[in-house]
């Protein structure tokens, strides 16, 4: 016997069911590296990937991050920033100044 759900019940059910992701065509060396890392951390490969997926999802995308940083005002000019970086890095090995 098949039980019919209302649209609301179905939506609630879909939200509560755990989601599954399948990754196809994963290189053997990538899987070995994931297995090694998971073993070092004492977890399974799926648990390692679940943790990494949660970490990735919690971070802003590059475009979101750039939008946020563009909204920040600064009194420092690009030339001052480049000069400060040059000072930290030192002179270029082949610089003929």
Q: Distance between CA atoms of 32 and 44, rounded to whole angstroms? A: 12
Average of pLDDT values for 27-43?
97
Predicted TM-score (pTM) of this structure:
0.55
Reported as a single tens digit per residue, the pLDDT across 38-65 is: 999 999 999 999 999 999 999 999 999 9
Rg (CA), the chain: 25
pLDDT at residue 14 tops 70: no
Tokens of 5: 């759900």
3 state SS for 35-54: HHHHHHHCCCHHHHHHHHHH
Q: Domain residues of the chain, as ranges?
A: 24-89
């Amino acid at each position: 016997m098949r039980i019919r759900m209302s649209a609301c019940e179905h939506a609630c059910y879909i939200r509560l069911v755990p989601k599954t992701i399948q990754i196809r065509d994963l290189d053997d060396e990538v899987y070995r590296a994931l297995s090694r890392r998971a073993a070092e951390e004492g977890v399974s490969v799926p648990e390692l990937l679940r943790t990494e997926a949660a970490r990735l999802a919690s971070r802003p995308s590059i475009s979101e991050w750039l939008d946020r940083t563009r909204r920040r005002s600064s009194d420092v000019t690009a030339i001052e920033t480049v000069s400060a970086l040059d000072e930290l890095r030192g002179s270029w090995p082949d610089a003929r100044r």
